[in-house]
A and B are shown apart, each in its own frame.
Chain A
Amino acid sequence: MFSGLAEKLQSTLRQLRGKGKLSEKDVDAAMREIRLALLEADVNFKVVKDFITAIRERAVGHEVMGSLTPGQQVVKIVNEELTKLMGDKAGVLSAARKGPQVIMLVGLQGSGKTSTAAKLAAFLQRSGKKPLLVAADIYRPGAARQLEILSEKIGAAFYGNLADNPTQICRAGAAWAEKESFDPVILDTAGRLHLDRQMMDELVAIKKTVSPTDVLLVVDAMTGQDAVNAASAFNEAVGISGIILTKLDGDTRGGAALSVRAVTGCPIKFIGVGEKIDQLEPFYPDRMASRILGMGDMLSLIEKAEAAVDRSKARELEQKLLRQQFTLDDFKDQLVQLRSIGSLEDILNMLPEGTGIPKEMRQMSLNETNFKRIEAIIGSMTKKEKIDPSIINGSRRRRIAMGSGTNVQEVNRLLNQFAQMQKMFKQMGSLEQKGQFKKLKKKMKKGFLF
């Protein structure tokens, strides 16, 4: 997610970072690069313009020119402005004054409203709520049935009635929720074009009837320049209180996130990060800004790791890493644990660029098949080999390949990857000895790496 944009911004900013003195020409060149990177990431061109103007103004000002490390100062400004652009606090749902919370989902066709409705219900269930899903999409064939199946899957209540019109459905759903004390009520409305007057009026009517506590616009993260048109049209016609960004697990650079936030002024409240029903997360603007800038999203990673990893095992591993006794067996254990956190790619995306993880490792795809092969290769090694892979010569490689049903190239690849990993941990270990690792950790917690 966001990786393309992050890479571009980083290489631009890296050139600035080392500079002791910054001329106006340096700043201009960097701004041009940032502008192109943002445009290529589908950030709306007007938003880009404002963003660049804001950064440039600060970058050529006293704040930077007078600083001892002007390059780093610019990086800091970009980070701050980016965070500002994405909103300055984590999105939360609005509380209801009385009765249940009513959350209305609106958006274009195919943005992911129905899946998101179910994911949101599952998310709220995890915090002990008893949500009701209401199918207000009477137009798309099978839409109500889709929501009904999903509600059964998560064990949430469902209301739908294809004989009624959407306003009646929503009113009846809300009334039923009040009676049965379901809270919140999630309304899944039909996808529609913002140009369609009649369909937009329908949303207005629903909103008037049920007075939702939140109207959330569901936006596909892969949307291009048009994201701003749709978002502002929905906002003007219906009035939205927040945004849910879907399909962020693709390789989109996600410029729509920046654009939509900027033109509506509404916070991004949740992000969809996968097809599984639990893959909806609250949105944290500062974390996302760090991620875009390649500073990593350590907080999210730590939270996920804490949920998935056995603490004593983790401490043991940390010690092993620092004493540089990390073996292939530990590597395998790690892979198993990593997989319970998420895909390796997701995890690597959350790590800060500065940790020196080689590019090849970042690109190493850890899919199911691959994983099974790695497991088989390691399983075909002797105990001695696992502890000291340097003894694995040509004939051992052939034996391991035969034993695991793979080939020598694959065995070589794995051994190379492992060697790189060991080298990386060695670097981290020496950082620790100099006390720099702690400093780094502290900085990460603050959200910056500079």
Chain B
Amino acid sequence: MNKLETFKSSLARSKSGFIERLNFLIRGGDIDADFYEQLEEILISGDVGVHTTLNLVSELKNEAAAKKITDRQTFRSLLADKITAILIAPSQPAEPETIPQLILLVGVNGSGKTTTAAKLAGYYKAMGKKVMLVAGDTFRAAAIEQLEIWSERVGVELIRQHSGSDPSALFFDAVNAAKARGTEVIIGDTAGRLHNKYNLMEELNKIYRVIGRNLPGAPHQVILVVDATTGQNAISQAKKFNEALPLSGLILTKLDGTARGGIVVAIRALLDLPVLFVGTGEMIEDLAPFDAETFTTALLD
């Protein structure tokens, strides 16, 4: 299955919601007065958010008027272009890869960090890399055990300490172990925390500083894990986490539900954070790199 097919099949399970109605609206017919209002409603109901929706629709209105577009079919490709343009990440200059690379996963409680850490480990292992998982959630009961089971399933090394221990110290040790063992990719799980909890965000910043001190340039990526069912609060999450430590991008999880990528559009429109991967199921291999064009095509197909 190619990338497009994978996307389509994961989206197909929930055609009843946002996408189907969007398609219904876009297919055929002329654009009438009601059309824009309906479109607004549909984008909002897909979690695109009021602000982004109003901007998007008013831009479309102007363009459609300027280009004298009156049929829905042409309008549709205009919309697709627009959404893709928002979603597409500017290509970044390839950085020289230092070893080990450290990827830190952060996010609110229940967004899927631990599962995503395991999936990422599987992803890099499949690329032939030597991977290490770090059980950085020392707070939630049995979070360490959870990642331990995953690490056995994936077949990668796990660095852990006892529950309740200081995560900064754990990461310090993990970096040393990785250096000694020639590990290429370190994937660090962290405890879920709400972004408005000052002390917990400070703790995260400390982890960040300790890692950077022990391994210059690290963490090479800090990824915010966002549940796709999250509403507008995801924007606040991205902002606040980004204030605590510089984020490099997002992973959108649970995209196999009925909640559909609308929040991605909002996040990309408001913040300069690329979506790196999407999670589409409970299996290790249910993680795919995010591709804006494919995503938009699947979304509007």
Q: Which residues of A contact B (CB under 8 A)?
A: 36, 39-42, 44-46, 108-112, 139-143, 145-150, 153, 193-195, 220, 222-227, 229-230, 233, 247, 249-253, 255-256, 275, 365, 367-369
Q: Is the CB of A251 within 8 A of B47?
A: no
Seed contacts A109-B254, A222-B227, A230-B257; 9 additional CB < 8 Å A-B pairs = A45-B45, A109-B112, A112-B109, A112-B110, A149-B163, A195-B256, A249-B196, A252-B233, A275-B139
Q: Is the CB of A40 within 8 A of B233?
A: no
CB distance from A25 to the nearest CB of B (A): 20
Among candidates B14, B108, B140, residue contacting A146 with C-beta atoms closer than 8 Å: B140
B143 at the interface (CB under 8 A from A): yes
Q: Is the CB of A225 within 8 A of B45?
A: yes
List of A residues within 8 angstroms of B233 by Cβ: 42, 222, 224, 250-253
Q: A110 to B112: give the CA distance in the assembly, Å.
A: 7
Q: Is the CB of B254 within 8 A of A45?
A: no
B145 at the interface (CB under 8 A from A): yes
Q: 18 A-B contacts, Cβ less than 8 Å apart?
A: A40-B232, A46-B45, A108-B254, A110-B111, A141-B149, A148-B142, A194-B258, A223-B229, A224-B232, A226-B17, A226-B229, A226-B260, A247-B109, A250-B233, A251-B195, A252-B236, A367-B198, A368-B199
Q: Is the CB of A225 within 8 A of B46?
A: yes
| Dominant secondary structure of chain A at its interface with chain B | loop
Q: A139 to B282: give the CA distance in the assembly, Å.
A: 10
Q: Which residues of B contact A (CB under 8 A)?
A: 13-14, 17, 41, 44-47, 49-51, 108-112, 139-143, 145-150, 163, 194-199, 202, 227, 229-234, 236, 254, 256-260, 262-263, 282
| Dominant secondary structure of chain B at its interface with chain A | loop
Q: A367 to B201: give the CA distance in the assembly, Å.
A: 11
Among candidates A110, A143, A225, A233, residue contacting B44 with C-beta atoms closer than 8 Å: A225
Q: A40 to B41: give the CA distance in the assembly, Å.
A: 12
List of B residues within 8 angstroms of A45 by Cβ: 41, 44-45
Q: Is the CB of B110 within 8 A of A110?
A: yes
Q: A399 to B145: give the CA distance in the assembly, Å.
A: 52
Q: Is the CB of A224 within 8 A of B108?
A: no
Q: Is the CB of A193 within 8 A of B257?
A: yes
Among candidates A36, A112, A153, A194, residue contacting B257 with C-beta atoms closer than 8 Å: A194
Among candidates A142, A195, A275, residue contacting B13 with C-beta atoms closer than 8 Å: A195
A-B contact number at CB 8 A: 153
Closest to B51 in A: A40
Q: Is the CB of A365 within 8 A of B146?
A: no
Closest to B54 in A: A36
Closest to A45 in B: B45
Given contacts A146-B140, A250-B195, contact A110 B146 (CB under 8 A): no
Q: Which 9 A-B pairs have the closest CB atoms?
A: A224-B231, A110-B110, A142-B146, A42-B231, A146-B142, A141-B149, A226-B259, A149-B141, A367-B198
List of B residues within 8 angstroms of A251 by Cβ: 194-196, 233, 236
CB distance from A37 to the nearest CB of B (A): 9
Q: Is the CB of A145 within 8 A of B227?
A: no
List of B residues within 8 angstroms of A247 by Cβ: 108-110, 194
List of B residues within 8 angstroms of A42 by Cβ: 47, 231-233
List of A residues within 8 angstroms of B199 by Cβ: 367-369
Among candidates B46, B197, B229, residue contacting A108 with C-beta atoms closer than 8 Å: B229
Q: Is the CB of A146 within 8 A of B149?
A: no
Q: Is the CB of A249 within 8 A of B149?
A: no
Among candidates B50, B142, B196, residue contacting A40 with C-beta atoms closer than 8 Å: B50
CB distance from A81 to the nearest CB of B (A): 21
List of B residues within 8 angstroms of A230 by Cβ: 229, 257-258
List of B residues within 8 angstroms of A110 by Cβ: 109-112, 227, 254
List of A residues within 8 angstroms of B259 by Cβ: 224-226, 229
CB distance from A245 to the nearest CB of B (A): 13
List of A residues within 8 angstroms of B14 by Cβ: 195
Among candidates A46, A195, A220, A255, residue contacting B227 with C-beta atoms closer than 8 Å: A220
List of B residues within 8 angstroms of A369 by Cβ: 199, 202
CB distance from B80 to the nearest CB of A (A): 21
Q: Is the CB of A250 within 8 A of B108?
A: yes
Q: Is the CB of A142 within 8 A of B145?
A: yes
Closest to A250 in B: B194
CB distance from A449 to the nearest CB of B (A): 26
List of A residues within 8 angstroms of B148 by Cβ: 142
CB distance from A235 to the nearest CB of B (A): 14
Q: A156 to B15: give the CA distance in the assembly, Å.
A: 44
